[in-house]
Amino acid sequence: MPINKAKNIFLGRDGEKRQNCAQSVLSAFKQEMNIGEELINLAKAYGGGHAPDGICGAYWAAKLIIEKYCCPEKAKEFEEFFNNQADSLLCKEIRKNKKLSCLGCVEKAAEFIVKSKNKN
């Protein structure tokens, strides 16, 4: 299941190579969504608050999947869902608020993709 795969990649568990939050979300859906390795490599620079405009890397990756690979009509719903879960879309604010951990961000991002694609 992609949710557990994303978490295992982020944590480097179950034989998975540890990756940052953005890479973890992309890698979890790599085969299913036909996501290229070059995009996952690009996301290497997007962990720890370094995604564009300081947004959460897990959010950035999930939004990209939703908009380009899955269900673009769900993009606004995802933004609202994630903001509600984390109290922000910005990595530094999410960390400061401590409502959701980095692992939690990865989990919630993957969870929304799974739910959305199963409804299509």
- Expressed as residue numbers, the domain containing 44 is 2-119
End-to-end CA distance of the chain, in Å?
18
Number of domains in the chain: 1
pLDDT at 120: 56
Q: Which stretches within the chain are classed as H helix?
A: 2-11, 21-28, 30-33, 37-42, 57-65, 75-86, 91-97, 102-119
pLDDT digits 0-9 by tens, 29-66: 999 999 999 999 999 999 999 999 999 999 999 999 99
pLDDT for residue 117: 82
Distance, CA of 107 to CA of 93 (rounded, Å): 18
Percent of the chain exceeding pLDDT 70 equals 98
